[in-house]
Structure 1
Amino acid sequence: MAQKPMTKTQLVAALADEMGSDKKTASAALDAIASVVTKEVSNGGAATIPGVGKVYCRERPARMVRNPATGEQIHKDADKVVKVTIAKALKDSVNG
């Protein structure tokens, strides 16, 4: 059975323990990382978090999609999606 994902509170506590710091400092660091990554990706760039992966934005072209309930074809405009490429070191640690 799959384990529940770590909550922000649990992540902040683990980060504070790893840094040897208090939870307030760890929470500020986590929020700062999220803010920097969000700004960079929303401006069309990419952000690499060493040991974790690369976060970037990709544009998808306009296309025809199907409504699964009715089978009707609908035109969907071009949009952007956020993608994450996982770092090789993380893949190897999970599989190794």
Structure 2
Amino acid sequence: MKTQRHHPDGQSATTLDQLPVRTQATIREVRGSHHDGGALKRRLMELGFVPGERVQVLRRVFHGHGPLAVRVGTSTFAMRKLESSLIEVVPA
């Protein structure tokens, strides 16, 4: 089920794991995981997943049940659903 949040500026946001393949988006927020004290959020931000950066899902593996191939800036990463669900985006 897709989750969309509406922000005061009128833009609908979703999470990276819900973004359709090949859709360009801008990162709005990186949320922290409750399980690790913010370590995953820090790691994602160190890799370039920062608010304002452009991002795109390039491919979904195993019909959406496996990792995602994601491009942020000029880098490409494989991400689990857990990581990609922490990244809130706004379609560009």
Scaled by the length of structure 1, the TM-score of the pair is 0.26
Q: Higher strand fraction: Structure 1 or Structure 2?
A: 2
Bigger Rg, which one = 1
Select the structure that is richer in helix.
Answer: 1
TM-score, normalization: structure 2? 0.27
Higher RCO, 1 vs 2 (CA within 8 Å, ≥6 residues apart): 2
